[in-house]
């Protein structure tokens, strides 16, 4: 393809995502291949009792990211990036950004990482009969009202990071369905905020002296495929101060990182799901029917096109595992051996395949930080074994990889064993799956479900956002989002699938039984160490 002409003609589509540590933008062609990218590294800070990013961080980061994208385009194709067929913005979900009528930010941005809304989250969960995690936007707003924070009377609108960026680009206060489902619960029939919960919240707010209606302060929810607005002159200037990118580009409704992850793994149909494994790990399964009850361990959100999704989110996954691999590298270097990290990971992970199915009496707890699902406010990584345990390298590595998925299994056992949720395939993505056939098999055994890994899964959230933007402008009339992904993006590719092994399933179950029993030791370590 003549990409120079393709870009000059404004046919490329851009997806941009604000992650926790990196802002990244990608440009895709008509077959959804990534043809250029740019990024910017950033970091949150802890100020005034909250994890936050400043507005300066947001705009400096976005502009640097787009500058690097434009530079990549020019270097590869010798052309300036000036217009596109569509674009879209996504970000880490939830959090709280409150503005007055002049658009002034009233308090610093409170990210998803803050666990400061316990009173509000518990109250709303009980009244809604629906789990409201502390990080959700509605919990932040309710907590601010309960705490009588001085800024509350001045609130004109409240938004998420993705919604705010989109508003500044287009002038439209809107979000996509997936992003909206992490603000206040959605009704998948009406494709809008759940009216019963809206009414409950409004009644609570009025009693507390906050007279604004929640619909008047929250962004409007739009469906996947709707046009979310157009890049304005002011938005174009903010996006690219050099003036190369022109206004008028259609912008799809902003989405959250959960939604872009579902898009990037083609897991938006009922009975599909994905597992994203990195510093944290979460699974998302698209439900056939509502759950019979609500659970603190399970967050209910939606796909970008509004189907209900059960999400199990765990704060800890690979951090402690990575620390052990680093220790092994130091040992090798002490012996004069220069270690290639990719090779070391591969050899250690493959060694884990030789371990006992239940890890032979070796137990690992990977809690670098607290974990809501197991009731821990803090974490203490631990290795524990019985005196008669087979303390081999294989069992040690297997226990550490098992530990990365153990808490995820606790949450998913509620779905699969209590709620009898069915799943045909889970799509795994993240660095832990790079060594072929190890973590993928252990996850299949842990959740007793087929796990597939696609070559495209590594493209991540910005690519998923580009797919959502592409659907807005490239779909056929009446074409559904799942059909668009399956037929026009993934072309029937279902990835390489591994199925649960009976011996492995039984072994993981025995490991988890001891893991649960040993949580008392983990809690004692938090108290005493």
Q: Where are the domains of the chain?
A: 258-314+412-498, 319-407
Burial bucket for residue 220 (CB in 10 Å: 0-12, 13-18, 19+)? middle
From edge to edge, which strands make up the β-sheet containing 22-28?
34-41, 22-28, 13-18, 86-91, 255-256
- Give residue 75's Cα distance to chain centre: 31
Residues 6+ apart with CB under 8 A from 232: 169, 170, 171, 247
Q: Which CATH architecture describes the domain 319-407?
A: 2-Layer Sandwich (3.30)
Selection from 36, 101, 44, 118 nearest residue 72 by Cα: 36
Selection from 366, 329, 347 nearest residue 438 by Cα: 347
**The pTM is what?**
0.88
Other Cβ atoms less than 10 A from the Cβ of 2: the count is 9
Q: Could you give the angle at the alpha carbon of 410 between the alpha carbons of 406 and 459, nearest 5°?
A: 60
**Three-state SS at 46:** strand
Tokens of 388: 């008669």
CATH assignment of 258-314+412-498, given 3.40.50.10860, 3.30.420.40, 3.40.640.10, 3.40.50.1400?
3.30.420.40
Q: Could you give the angle at the alpha carbon of 420 between the alpha carbons of 416 and 424, nearest 5°?
A: 70
Q: How far is CA 195 from CA 134, 136, 138, 285, 308, in A?
A: 21, 17, 14, 24, 16
- Give residue 62's Cα distance to chain centre: 19
- For position 278, what pLDDT does the model report? 82
Tell me the C-alpha distance between 174 and 17, whole Å. Answer: 17
Residue pair 288/271 in contact (Cβ under 8 Å)? The answer is yes
- For position 454, what pLDDT does the model report? 83
Q: What is the pLDDT of residues 403-456, one digit of tens each?
A: 999 999 999 999 999 999 999 999 998 889 989 999 999 999 999 999 999 876
Residues 442, 447, 449, 453: is their CA dihedral positive or negative? negative
User: How many helices (H) does the chain have, and how many strands (E)?
Assistant: 17, 24
**Three-state SS at 187:** strand
Other Cβ atoms less than 10 A from the Cβ of 360: the count is 21
HSE-up of 42 (CA within 13 Å, CB side)?
25
Regions of the chain with pLDDT less than 70? 456-459
Fold agreement between 258-314+412-498 and 319-407: yes
Selection from 430, 443, 459 nearest residue 322 by Cα: 430
- For position 286, what pLDDT does the model report? 96
Tokens of 162: 């993705």
């Amino acid at each position: 393809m003549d990409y120079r002409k393709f870009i000059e003609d404004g046919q490329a589509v851009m997806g941009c995502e604000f992650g926790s540590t990196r802002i990244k933008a990608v440009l895709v062609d008509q077959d959804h291949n990534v043809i250029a990218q740019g990024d910017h590294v950033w970091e949150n800070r802890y100020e005034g009792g909250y994890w936050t990013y400043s507005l300066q961080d947001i705009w400096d980061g976005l502009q640097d990211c787009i500058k690097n994208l434009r530079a990549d385009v020019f270097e590869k194709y010798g052309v300036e990036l000036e217009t596109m067929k569509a674009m879209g913005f996504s970000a880490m979900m939830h959090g709280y950004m409150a503005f007055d009528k002049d658009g002034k930010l009233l308090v610093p941005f409170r990210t998803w990482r803050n666990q400061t809304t316990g009173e509000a989250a518990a109250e709303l969960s009980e009244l809604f009969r629906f789990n409201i995690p502390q990080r959700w936007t509605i919990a932040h707003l309710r907590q601010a009202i309960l705490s009588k924070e001085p800024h509350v009377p001045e609130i004109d609108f409240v938004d998420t990071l993705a919604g705010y960026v989109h508003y500044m680009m287009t002038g439209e206060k809107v979000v996509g369905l997936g992003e909206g489902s992490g603000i206040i619960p959605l009704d998948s029939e009406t494709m809008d905020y759940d009216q019963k919960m809206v009414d409950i919240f409004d009644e609570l707010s009025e009693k507390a002296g906050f007279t604004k209606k929640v619909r008047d302060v929250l962004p409007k929810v739009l469906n996947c495929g709707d046009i979310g607005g157009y890049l304005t002159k002011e938005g174009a200037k903010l996006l690219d101060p050099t003036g190369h990118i022109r206004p008028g580009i259609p912008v799809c409704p902003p989405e959250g990182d959960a939604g872009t992850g579902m898009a990037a793994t083609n897991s938006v149909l009922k009975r599909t799901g994905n597992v994203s494994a990195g510093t944290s790990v979460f699974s998302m399964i698209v439900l056939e029917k509502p759950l019979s009850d609500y659970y603190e361990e399970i967050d209910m959100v939606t796909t970008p096109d509004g189907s209900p999704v059960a999400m199990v989110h765990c704060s800890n996954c690979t951090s402690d595992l990575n620390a052990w691999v680093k220790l092994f590298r130091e040992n090798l270097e002490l012996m004069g051996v220069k270690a290639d990290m990719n090779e070391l990971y591969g050899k250690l992970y493959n060694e884990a395949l030789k371990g006992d199915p239940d890890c032979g009496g070796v137990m690992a707890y990977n809690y670098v930080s607290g974990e809501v699902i197991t009731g821990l406010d803090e974490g203490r990584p631990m290795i524990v074994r019985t005196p008669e345990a087979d303390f081999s390298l294989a069992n040690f590595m297997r226990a550490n990889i098992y530990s990365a998925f153990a808490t995820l299994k606790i949450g998913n056992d509620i779905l699969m064993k209590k709620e009898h949720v069915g799943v045909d395939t889970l799509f795994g993505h993240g660095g832990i799956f790079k060594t072929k056939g190890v973590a993928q098999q252990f996850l299949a055994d842990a959740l007793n479900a087929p796990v597939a890994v696609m070559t495209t899964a590594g493209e991540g959230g910005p690519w998923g956002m580009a797919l959502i933007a592409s659907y807005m402008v490239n779909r056929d009339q009446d074409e559904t989002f799942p059909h668009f992904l399956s037929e026009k993006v993934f072309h029937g590719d279902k990835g390489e699938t591994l199925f649960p092994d009976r011996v492995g399933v039984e072994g993981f179950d025995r490991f988890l039984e001891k893991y649960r029993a040993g949580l008392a030791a983990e809690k004692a370590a938090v108290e005493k160490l």
